[in-house]
Chains A and B, each alone.
Chain A
Amino acid sequence: MAGALAMAAALPSLAGAAVTCAACYGLGALLLARFDAPLRPLERFPLAFLLGAAGLHLAIFSAMALHVAYRPVLILLLLGLIGGGIVADRSRTAGGWAEYRSLESLAPEPLALEPLVQITCGVIFGCYTIFYFINAWAPESSPDGSAYHLELVGRYVRAHGFEPVTTNMYAGLSEGVEILFAPAFAIGRHSAATLVHFFFTVILGLLIYAYGCRIGKPRVGAAAAILTYVSPIVGITGSSAYVDVAAAAVVFSVFYWLEIWDGSRDSRLLVPLGLMAGYGYAVKYTVGVMLLYALVFVAWRARRLKPVLAVAACASVMILPWMIKDWVYLHNPIAPFGNALFRNPNLFPLPEQEWTQWLRSYDLANKWTLPLQVTIYGDKTQGVIGVAFLALPLALLALRFRAGRRLLVPGLVMLAVYFANIATRFLIPCLPFFSLSLALALESAGPLLALLVVMQAFLSWPMVVSQSSARYGWHLAHFPIKAALRLVPEDRFLRETSPGFELARMVEQYVPRGERVFLLNGIPEAYTSREVLVGFQSSLGLTLQDMLATTWSEDSQPTRMLLFRFPGRSLRRVRLLQTARLPAPQQWSVHEVRFLNGGMELPRRPEWRLRAFPDPWNVQLAFDNSGATRWRSWEAASPGMYIDVDFGREQQIDEVRLETSPDASGVQVELQAMERGRWVPLAGRPDQRKITPQGSLGRAAAFEFNARGIHYLLLQDGDYSADLVQDDPGEWGVSVVARRPGGILYEVRP
């Protein structure tokens, strides 16, 4: 009885995913009915699902934007679309059947697989599908899934719509799949969302096979589908609340629609093509490149501008909502990137630069090792695509065929953007193209292709991967059937499998509703409803993190003073101009700027006007008399950066002091005064002095936290400074609220 009750707890997640996926298909069926695309049943299902997903994403976006995304609204929307899909399917198979059949005949006749191939492929596909399904059904514990994909989804669901999330850079990314997670999450919580992504994984497999059938080569389709589907990175990603496999399915569907359009030249098909190409951007920025491919392809084949414009217009319907959302909330339409171009107070350029640089390297010293890294080891790039892809150079043999050339070009386009983030999962959108090309190239060598497929299926089996050289990469390792059925309670499973889950629950338990908690490193935020502010994820977070670092890192403390002395003058406006060009990450930092006359500091008056470039929003940090705060350029130091003070009236000054830190030692500062509308030098090179910070920097930092409404601090074992704070919480202006293995929650009271 208890077991049955526990298992009943597992059903909402299934229901949430099932209703969401059925609604995707329903809407897709409705839309397809308008285009009369010459589709076979085999390809109709996955293409309808993906087209419906694109449409549903817009519908939910609208509900979120209007703040009407209440649970009943979402459920009604889904049920309505399911009903519409049923009607569309009925009319297709009744009144519209004859026409449908005639259109279907435009495509080549499907060829049957040999029984042995059918059974082999069926067994492999079935076994992997069961494994993936159980993993997806189990409580969600993936790193990014539980840290931000579902955290943001949960946040929107709780708020019944979008919120301006300015303290989490991931909220700037387009969320075309996450937004589909929202209704599933509203019904069945975290696992429901994961199961939606799992369904995209199945769809991708079906679509690859369907394409093989479309070109009259079902064996190629089946082999390619298995090569991709069983890939370890596809398995773990597709069984988690990520978006990469969905992105791959969308990319491949764009290619698929291009091929269908090219076969019929029916201009109506440019609509689903454009919508899917735009949806790619909505799913993942890097996938947006497929829109460019589609535009070039259509231009090349049609030799007319109108079809290209039609595709672009349809794509913009999917892209613009996300750009507008980012522009309105974050003042940057392509957030979290492009912050040097679209300067804004929410995200600094330098951390973005360091982050994207790291994504391009993952500390992989030698890029030539990348092929082995992503196929065999995966310890640095976080997973493997499978050993079979070492045979990828053979795919070039597919260039002999028109279909091979058509496949390899988009595959290479997606490979080009892979180098923007070399994590193995960013290769997933390439895999359908490469798998099909490889299978096509080896089709004539049947036994070799069969061997490759069976080898990939065997070596990618999770238990085999766990024993191989790829075991340090991200991969499925368990078959958590009891957790999936909730025979093992969700909390217990997550405590055992998700590092940081205990900390998330501690935050939920001890931090009052409406309060924010600051962390240096993330936790599974999807499991707390409190607002978690992680240091590196926003300008505010980085500013707070810098305050903490200033308390314990000598390099960041105000121990250096630049002293400008000059004959006393009456001045109204003065600026400090930075003139050196330094490589990143060296930046300009200023703890305090002080103006003196006759050895006495001028009191800072309300009529003073402070300006700074490039970060104008935090200039007050250099004028607050706190040793724990500093204004920083947050860009590599370059000539032209300045801090500008207008006193509002003439002031007698003979000395300017700039308090700074050793980590800004490379900068060169010139003091200038405004005279008759022009900046002129006011003093020569400054003298340098060593100074001692005033007062307790720990408590000063705590004061600043409080001033910004941050009353809780969670330090995890291994965080810089965690042991220092633990040793003497009082000195840091904090007191212990609760402890859990892995971290301590403090209340901030300076």
Chain B
Amino acid sequence: MDARTLLFALVLALSGCRNPPESYAPPAQRQPFESFKPYAALRIVDMAAPGANSHFIQDISSKLENGAWRWTDKRPTVRVNPNSNLGLTYLIDFATPEITFKKTGPVTIAFYVNDHLLDRVRYDTAGRHQFQKPVPPDWVSAGQNTTLAAEIDKLYIAKEEGGKRYGFVLVRIGLLQ
């Protein structure tokens, strides 16, 4: 490779380089829009959502599995804050996995809103399930914390894991509107 070719190659290579910009002037200044409203309270708690833990009350594993779900204990319970008590539907996406189902057999899960029993459903097969049911308006107060729970009747106790308790697999739980 002669010197001219080398120089040409070098110039070509350097011409492709991009230096970071030197500096910027301040941008146009924004003005605040009306008053600030905190939005921390969600109606549906997705197990994968950042900050989901802040809605947990009990019986939900702190460990997120597969980037999507968490193991529960007997009565997983979360807190949500609906801005209305009208037209609400209890929603839960969950699974009764084969690994626990083989040991427990069919299970019954009771669904609660503010400790009111909404329904009790028996699940005869392993797999993914969804439960939805309208919530009576007088069980919930708009703008107030509302507890949602789902209680499984049988737990799988893993002796090989020192008696660790497994309820079911929870994906999301909340109130549809």
Q: A residues near B, CB below 8 A?
A: 324, 327-328, 331, 343-344, 358, 363, 380, 549, 551-555, 604-611, 616-617, 619-620, 623-627, 646, 692-700, 703, 718, 720-721, 723-724, 726-728, 731, 733, 750
Distance of A558 from chain B, by nearest CB (Å): 10
**Complex: A403 Cα to B46 Cα, angstroms:** 53
Q: List 18 A-B contacts (CB under 8 A).
A: A363-B65, A554-B40, A606-B25, A609-B23, A611-B22, A616-B20, A624-B26, A695-B32, A695-B36, A698-B39, A699-B33, A700-B33, A703-B30, A718-B46, A720-B49, A724-B43, A731-B37, A733-B33
- Interface check B172, CB cutoff 8 A: yes
Q: How far is the CA of A364 from the CA of B81 in the complex (A)?
A: 34
Given contacts A553-B51, A699-B34, contact A623 B27 (CB under 8 A): yes
A343 to B43, CA, bound (A): 40
From B20, B50, B83, contact of A720 by CB (8 A): B50
Contact check, B65 vs A694: say whether CB atoms are below 8 A apart. Answer: no
Q: A344-B18, A551-B39 are in contact. Are A723 and B27 (CB under 8 A)?
A: no
- Name B's A-contacting residues (CB within 8 A): 16, 18, 20-40, 42-44, 46, 49-51, 65-67, 83-84, 172, 174, 176-177
- The answer to whether A554 and B51 touch across the interface, beta carbons within 8 angstroms, is yes
Known: A604-B26, A627-B36, A726-B177. 5 other contacts (CB 8 A): A624-B28, A627-B32, A697-B37, A703-B30, A723-B44
* Of the residues B24, B34, B40, contact of A609 by C-beta under 8 Å: B24
B171: min CB distance to chain A, Å: 9
- Find the residue from B23, B42, B83 having the highest chain A CB count within 10 A: B23
Q: Which residue of B lies closest to A363 (CB)?
A: B66
**Chain B neighbourhood of A324, CB < 8 A:** 16
* CA gap between A646 and B23 in the complex, in Å: 9
User: What CA separation (Å) do A380 and B65 show in the bound complex?
Assistant: 10
Given A608-B25, A610-B24, A720-B49: A625 touches B31 (CB 8 Å cut-off)? yes
Q: Hey, which chain A residues are within 8 Å of B37, CB to CB?
A: 696-698, 731
Contact of B27 among A620, A646, A703 (CB under 8 A): A620
CB distance from B17 to the nearest CB of A (A): 8
- Alpha-carbon gap, A626 to B43, bound state (A): 27
Q: How far is the CA of A328 from the CA of B12 in the complex (A)?
A: 12
Contact A723:B43 (CB < 8 A) given known A344-B18, A611-B22, A694-B36: yes
**A387 CB, nearest partner CB in chain B, Å:** 18
Q: Give the docked Cα–Cα distance between A627 and B38 (Å).
A: 13
Distance between B101 CB and nearest chain A CB, rounded to angstroms: 14
Given contacts A609-B23, A611-B22, contact A625 B40 (CB under 8 A): no
A699 vs B39: C-alpha distance when bound (angstroms): 13
Contact A625 B30 (CB under 8 A): yes
A419 to chain B, nearest CB (A): 19
**What 7 pairs between A and B have smallest CB-CB spacing?**
A695-B32, A609-B23, A604-B26, A699-B33, A626-B30, A552-B39, A696-B33
For residue A726, which residues in chain B have a CB less than 8 angstroms away from its CB? Answer: 177
| In contact, B172 and A718 (Cβ under 8 angstroms) | yes
Q: Which residue of B lies closest to A621 (CB)?
A: B27
| Residues of A close to B44: CB separation below 8 A | 723
Determine the chain A residues whose CB is within 8 A of the CB of B26 once the complex forms.
604-606, 608, 610, 620, 623-624
B27 adjacent to A380 (CB under 8 Å): no
User: Which of chain A's residues have a CB closer than 8 A to the CB of B22?
Assistant: 609, 611
Please report the C-alpha to C-alpha distance between residue A512 and residue B177 in the assembled complex, in whole angstroms. Answer: 30
Least CB separation from B20: chain A residue: A616
B43 to A, closest residue via Cβ: A723
| B172 neighbours in A (Cβ, 8 Å) | 718
List, in ascending order, chain A residues with CB within 8 A of B177's CB. 723, 726-727
Known: A695-B33, A698-B39. A327 touches B16 (CB 8 A): yes
Closest chain B residue, CB of each to CB of A614: B20
Measured CA separation A608–B25 after assembly (Å): 6
Interface centre among B20, B29, B34 (most CB of A within 10 A): B20
**Contacting pair B20 A343 (CB below 8 A):** yes
Q: With CB as the reference atom, state the residue of chain B lying closest to A704.
A: B30
By a CB distance below 8 angstroms, the chain A residues around B34 are 695-696, 699
Q: Which of B24, B34, B172, B174 neighbours the largest number of chain A CB atoms within 10 Å of its CB?
A: B24
A700 CB contacts on chain B under 8 angstroms:
30, 32-33
Contact A625 B23 (CB under 8 A): no
Which residues of chain B have C-beta atoms less than 8 A from A554's C-beta?
Answer: 38, 40, 51
C-alpha spacing A718/B174, complex, angstroms:
11
In the complex, residue of chain A having the shortest beta-carbon distance to the beta carbon of B175: A723
Return chain A residues, CB-CB under 8 Å to B35.
695-696
Report the minimum CB–CB distance from A160 to chain B (whole Å): 25
In the complex, what's the smallest C-beta–C-beta distance from A84 to chain B, in angstroms? 33
Tell me which of A328, A699, A731 contacts B16 (CB under 8 A).
Answer: A328
Residues of B within 8 A of A699 (CB): 33-34
Chain A nearest CB, measured from B167 CB (Å): 19
- Separation in Å of the B131 CB from the closest CB of chain A? 16
Check B30–A555 contact: CB distance below 8 A: no
Tell me the bound Cα distance from A726 to B43 in angstroms: 11
B23 touches A692 (CB 8 A): no
Q: Do A617 and B21 touch (CB < 8 A)?
A: yes
Q: A693 — which chain B residues lie within 8 A by C-beta?
A: 36
Complex contact B30–A380 (CB within 8 A): no
CA distance A343 to B21 in the complex (A): 11
Inter-chain CA distance A609–B26, complex, in Å, is 7
Complex Cα spacing A617 to B27, Å: 12
Residues in A with CB closer than 8 Å to B49 are: 720
Check if B30 sits within 8 Å of A624, measured CB to CB: yes
Q: B16, B30, B39 — which one has the most chain A CB atoms within 10 A of its CB?
A: B39
Question: Are B33 and A625 in contact (CB-based, < 8 A)?
Answer: no
Minimum C-beta distance from B99 to chain A (A)? 11
Q: Which residues of A contact B28 (CB under 8 A)?
A: 624
Q: Are A692 and B36 in contact (CB under 8 A)?
A: yes
A624 to B65, CA, bound (A): 39
Q: Which residue of B lies closest to A556 (CB)?
A: B50
Using A552-B40, A554-B38, A696-B37 as known contacts, say yes or no to A616 and B25 having CB atoms under 8 A apart: no
Whole-angstrom CA separation of A331 from B27 in the bound complex: 25
A551 proximity list for chain B (CB < 8 A): 39
Cβ-closest chain A residue relative to B28? A624
Chain A residues lying within 8 Å of B40, measured Cβ to Cβ, are 552-554
Measured in the bound complex, the distance between the Cα atoms of B83 and A728 in whole Å is 10
A549→B66 CA distance, assembly (Å): 22
| Set of chain A residues within 8 Å of B66, measured between Cβ atoms | 363, 380
Tell me which residues across on chain B come within 8 A of A720, comparing CB atoms.
Answer: 46, 49-50
Interchain CB contact under 8 A, B20 and A555 = no
Report B102 CB to chain A, min CB distance, Å. Answer: 12
Q: Least Cβ distance of A574 to chain B in Å?
A: 14
A750 touches B23 (CB 8 A): no
Q: How far is the CA of A626 from the CA of B26 in the complex (A)?
A: 12
Are B36 and A363 closer than 8 Å at their CB atoms? Answer: no
Q: List residues of chain B with CB within 8 A of the CB of A625.
A: 29-31
Q: Which residue of B lies closest to A701 (CB)?
A: B33
Contact A620 B36 (CB under 8 A): no
Given known contacts A553-B50, A727-B83, is B23 in contact with A610 (CB within 8 Å)?
A: yes
A residues within 8 A CB of B32? Answer: 627, 694-696, 700
Hey, which chain A residues are within 8 Å of B24, CB to CB?
A: 609-611, 619-620
Cβ of B65: which chain A residues have Cβ within 8 Å of it? 363
